[in-house]
Structure 1
């Protein structure tokens, strides 16, 4: 299967640069799987799509304000660090700009010395490892000094950093938000629970690899990045109970989907408590084992996320839906509108 099969025309002006004031005011396209029928609503309509006995699964990862602006201790040259992954207590893998100025042993300071980082090594992909020193609690200092690592296609400054967090964000560790969840508010979640829908939280820490373009011609040749996931005993028990009772499992976002499908693929279709790293790559031909429906945003042309969505509905269905989204001027990507793929009858 060719990557070009998942290309489509996307006018740049449809890339949402800022979030809406009201999270639930975003538009919602409802897609019937394996047909070309779509419906147009606002996101609050999702309440009508969920039924008592269903299970809504959300990713409770919390985005780190992982972009740090500092200076080299010896020259005062500006250095930007982007934290990628914690490897030891105070050591992190990072991306650096400009990387050519940073060698092993380079010291960078942030916030007038509130935080100091010493380069401890160079990585194959051009990044660097840094050891951090500080007084106090690292994450509190990061909250004070760091900025949200917005995707490269968002060029507007984010005035309220909480708008790049879901209202239920809890577990620190993501380099990007699970953006399908940005549409939910606490009142909407309470209304969903009141309807008899089980609301369950799992965790997948989103890596920057989620923005990495597919650089091969054939989908089968693409290597997926790895991301850490965790499913608790309580979450697994609820999801399995719903499945056994014939309820529908509705995944919020591709991150929740990849977590559930990873666990189900390792356990004969069952959801069990587990944690680890996943590099699962879902594209047409994949048989879903865990989820029945999906709430997701509108994604990049030729991206692995479009491929994942096309595996749940048919590729023809999704490409038609994206064509309709462009025609109707839906807002795309992180701060954009949403799509709901209904469970098959």
Structure 2
């Protein structure tokens, strides 16, 4: 693994360039087109014009949950509970969302000093009492209880707030419930939006279809770790966050179609697709290994590595062995300069925070041109971060 100094991957982002609200229309965003080293400034609505005809676009269809819950104590103190990951009755987000009656989550807790371990907070959720018991202050474990037959997903839809990124520095508004969500969001479980997808509208999707561009959907439940700053000087010393992924047999079959130009929509889709290759590598060493990808997997000293087709076929074989059409797993894949892409040929993505793991991912794809791309965006009025403009990177 090459030595990477995070100071080489920072840039000056003026606060006024951060988009604090979305544009009135999703697809009116700007599109910076980087193709073979050249840069053009286009409109996102025309995305289909710039993709090769044999492109397969892969979208992340995770759905943002209202993960921010507020409770008021008898003293008047407000406690904020931010859902991070489920612990019981299942660590699988899909199962936790359908849980009835009770569910335990790992959370971050605002005003923790005012909440004694073991004590219960209660709030009325449209006539349904919701109780929260603090099980472990250190781990942030909170047990929720409510009257069945409501699923936990319904409880938080009624009572929670949209978890906006911390850098927006504003409270969630009613419009965010819709706008901080892709139009194709399906599987509930993310606490942050896969923001590259926020620009897509039915009109843009139809234009892709008319051109014959294949579209497919997989799932990575974006965690709060996506905003975790890199606090170390050397990129290799950073601990990458873990996120749950769901991959369908259909995804593998589409990836294995010959002659396809694979472009993920967003860094989360890219990390999911590349994780599939490394899971195939793991399966070739152990046919029963679970779908767990660590940040170190791509950087081991392998004597040899399989082709992309061989690795993906091995994942399909694992599905056959398990007699399933859907695989759930966890990935902490860390894509940084020096990484060799095994599946993806390009990327649709927004403009990211300085010195972040997302900048490292972009630099892994386009090399040192990442800085030129960002300078062009800053010099041409692009809006940055989650509600900002888009880019299509085709190195």
TM-score range, shorter chain: over 0.9
Question: Match of 2:119?
Answer: 106
SS in 2 for 1:213: coil
Superposed CA offset, 1:246-265 (max 9, x none): 22001000000001111112
* 1:182-201 superposed matches below 5 A: 182-201=198-217
Aligned Cα root-mean-square deviation (Å): 1.5
Secondary structure of the residue aligned to 2:276 is helix
What is the CA-CA distance between 1:5 and the residue it aligns to? 0.5
Distance 1:191 1:171 in 2: 24
Distance 1:14 1:41 in 2: 19
The aligned residue for residue 157 of structure 2 is: 143
Q: Give the distance between the partners of 1:196 and 1:187, measured in 2 at CA.
A: 14
How far apart are the structure 1 equivalents of 2:200 and 2:226? Answer: 22
SS at match of 1:223: coil
Secondary structure of 2:106's match? strand
Matches within 5 A, 1:83-232: 83-89=83-89, 90-111=103-124, 114-124=129-139, 127-135=140-148, 136-156=150-170, 157-160=172-175, 161-232=177-248
What CA distance in whole angstroms lies between the structure 1 residues aligned with 2:202 and 2:87?
34
Among 17, 29, 33, the alignment partner of 1:30 is 33
* TM-score (normalizing by structure 1): 0.93
User: Quick check: 1:307 aligned with 2:310?
Assistant: no
Alpha-carbon distance in 2 for matches of 1:289, 1:103: 49
Determine the C-alpha separation between the residues in 1 that align with 2:54 and 2:35.
Answer: 20
Instruction: State the Cα deviation string for residues 285-335 of structure 1 (Å, max 9, x = none).
Output: 000001001000000000000000110111x20111111111112100100
Partners of 1:143 and 1:168 lie apart in 2 by: 18
TM-score by length of 2: 0.81
Aligned to 1:2: 5
Q: Which range moves more in the overlay, 176-185 or 96-105?
A: 96-105
Is 1:254–2:267 an aligned residue pair?
yes
- Shift of the alpha carbon at 1:106? 1.9
Q: Where does structure 2 lack aligned partners over 5 or more consecutive residues? A: 90-102, 281-305, 317-326
Quick one: distance in 1 between partners of 2:153 and 2:278? 34
Runs of 4+ in 1 over 4 A off after TM superposition: none
Contact 1:68 / 1:110 at 8 angstroms: preserved in 2? no
Whether the 8 Å contact between 1:103 and 1:121 is mirrored in structure 2 is: no
Give the superposition deviation at 1:17: 0.4
1:3 CA displacement: 0.5
Distance 1:188 1:174 in 2: 24
Matched, 1:66 2:67: yes
* Counterpart for residue 11 of structure 1: 14
8 Å Cα contact 1:119/1:130 also seen in 2: yes
Looking at structure 2, the residues matched to 100 and 304 of structure 1 have their Cα atoms a distance apart, in angstroms, of 32
User: 2-side partners of 1:137 and 1:276: how far apart?
Assistant: 23
Q: What are the superposed Cα offsets for residues 53-95 of structure 1, whole Å, 9 maximum, x if unpaired?
A: 32000000000001111123x5342111111111113111111
The 1-side partners of 2:173 and 2:372 are apart by 32
Deviation at 1:120, TM superposition (A): 1.4
Question: Counterparts of 2:382 and 2:174 in 1: how far apart (Å)?
Answer: 23
Taking CA–CA contacts closer than 8 Å with sequence separation of 6 or more, which of the two structures ends up with the larger relative contact order? 1
Q: Please state whether the residue corresponding to 2:167 is helix, strand or coil.
A: coil
Matches within 5 A, 1:74-89: 75-89=75-89
Q: Tell me if structure 2 keeps the 8 A contact 1:120–1:131.
A: no
Secondary structure of the residue aligned to 1:100 is helix
